[in-house]
Structure 1
Amino acid sequence: MAPAASALDQARSELAQREAVLRSRLADPDFLANRGLGNEVGIYLFCYDPALELEVRDLVGRLSRESEAGVLPCRLVERNLYDLLLGICDERRVSDAIPRMEAKRGTAALLDQLRKTASTDAFAKALDYGPHELGDVLLITGVGEVYPLLRTHALLDNIQHLFADIPLVVAYPGCYDGASMRLFAGAGNRGLEDGNYYRAFSLV
């Protein structure tokens, strides 16, 4: 059910406030250097109402362009999980077989097979890059596009050691309370339980 206009207006107002916080973090030397975390890994969830997915995609595009132009004092490295999934399937040479497999064996069987092909380890390898530089921020998008194939908490468990030296921000269409995640939660929608993860911080 689509959120009411008043609820959507409130979600947009909150997104504008969250954008302001995100921008201030991306310009904060302590944030960029992972300082002040008490030896924790700098993993942050930037939560937003899933009804505003297109607005968030536009925001990510603007931030990426500003980073490339030097307007932001950081190098924003965006990785979209759905694009990575397509790349993994191409690399394993299974992309052309996916429609036939789903038609023959069904969606559930296809998901089981894809979980073996595009495992959390495969996503971790696709996300990793190097060398990391001071001022890098990894921004992960496309969380909702790869659900239920890939669960956010499982991915973060697999990659936290790879990015201990730079901040990692997950654009998350849902809610996070510091322990549990609810994907697609927003105005008037409780969303779906998406597992527990205790090592991340809410960006806002």
Structure 2
Amino acid sequence: MYDLESSLNRLEEKIKQPNFRQNKGLGNEVGYYVFDYPAEQELFVRERIKYLKDKYGNSNLDFKIIVFDLYDIIIDLLLKEGFLNLCDELEKNKGLSEIIIAINEMLRMEEDNQNNEILAHIKNNIEDNSIVFLTGVGKCFPFLRSHKVLNNLHQYIDNVPVVMFFPGEYDGQSLVLFSEIKDDNYYRAFKIVE
């Protein structure tokens, strides 16, 4: 039986290790990880992330945790561009699939370049001694796909470890969201705890 508390304790032990923070032992792969958990435990995981951020953000250790909620970033960018109010009208007239396309174009998620809004935001708000926690993956679906974030993030960040918190299952190759939506895209990430 899966023990979330134990997995979160192992996560905390792992991030405290100097080799983890230096991205050592990964066979020259970038230090990207996925922490998967049952979606129904989302609120418990959010509280634990807040606890870890507070604990290591205010300590005298040589690292700190920086949390980026992908959903909050998207909403902020939509507001900044004046696009959030248009989403309601677009959905009524064109449907959800058109909103997904429009949001991805605005965020430049389809482009393989240095103009990706979300990834640029993350890059501009980290420090060398950081551990990046990415949250809000479930809240973003289907507007933002987690593989697009992880597979493009290496262009922006390769000096600090990144942990994506995923409400579903990750087998080291593919993700299953909400116990039914399987994502067979390739992920440039390691499972952080077994």
- Equivalent residue number for residue 54 of structure 2: 65
Secondary structure of the residue that 2:76 maps to in structure 1?
helix
Seen in structure 2, the aligned counterparts of structure 1 residues 161 and 194 have a Cα distance that, compared at 3 Å, is same
Does the aligned pair in 2 maintain the 1:80–1:142 contact within 8 Å? yes
Equivalences for residues 1-204 of structure 1 within 5 A = 10-11=1-2, 14-70=3-59, 74-120=63-109, 121-129=116-124, 132-134=127-129, 136-185=130-179, 191-204=180-193
Seen in structure 2, the aligned counterparts of structure 1 residues 198 and 99 have a Cα distance that, compared at 3 Å, is closer
Does the aligned pair in 2 maintain the 1:64–1:78 contact within 8 Å? yes
Seen in structure 2, the aligned counterparts of structure 1 residues 111 and 32 have a Cα distance that, compared at 3 Å, is same
Inter-partner Cα distance in structure 2 for 1:34 and 1:180: 22
Secondary structure of the residue that 1:77 maps to in structure 2?
strand
Secondary structure of the residue that 1:70 maps to in structure 2?
coil
Inter-partner Cα distance in structure 2 for 1:17 and 1:41: 26
Seen in structure 2, the aligned counterparts of structure 1 residues 131 and 175 have a Cα distance that, compared at 3 Å, is closer
Seen in structure 2, the aligned counterparts of structure 1 residues 195 and 91 have a Cα distance that, compared at 3 Å, is farther
Secondary structure of the residue that 1:173 maps to in structure 2?
strand
Unaligned runs of 5+ in 2: 110-115
Does the aligned pair in 2 maintain the 1:66–1:72 contact within 8 Å? no
- 1:142-184 Cα offsets, whole Å, 9 max, x none, are 0011111111112111112322111000001111112111122
Inter-partner Cα distance in structure 2 for 1:48 and 1:64: 18
Seen in structure 2, the aligned counterparts of structure 1 residues 168 and 97 have a Cα distance that, compared at 3 Å, is same
- 1:27-65 Cα offsets, whole Å, 9 max, x none, are 111111111111110000001000100101111111111
Inter-partner Cα distance in structure 2 for 1:49 and 1:112: 28
The 4+ residue runs of structure 1 with deviation greater than 6 A are: none
Pick which of 26-35 and 100-109 moved more: 100-109
Q: CA deviation at 1:71?
A: 7.1
Root mean square deviation of aligned Cα: 1.8
Seen in structure 2, the aligned counterparts of structure 1 residues 130 and 94 have a Cα distance that, compared at 3 Å, is closer
Inter-partner Cα distance in structure 2 for 1:58 and 1:181: 23
Does the aligned pair in 1 maintain the 2:120–2:156 contact within 8 Å? no
Unaligned runs of 5+ in 1: 1-9, 186-190
Inter-partner Cα distance in structure 1 for 2:60 and 2:49: 14
Q: What's the TM-score, normalizing by structure 2?
A: 0.88
Does the aligned pair in 2 maintain the 1:27–1:73 contact within 8 Å? no
Inter-partner Cα distance in structure 2 for 1:44 and 1:153: 12
Equivalent pairs counted in the alignment come to 187
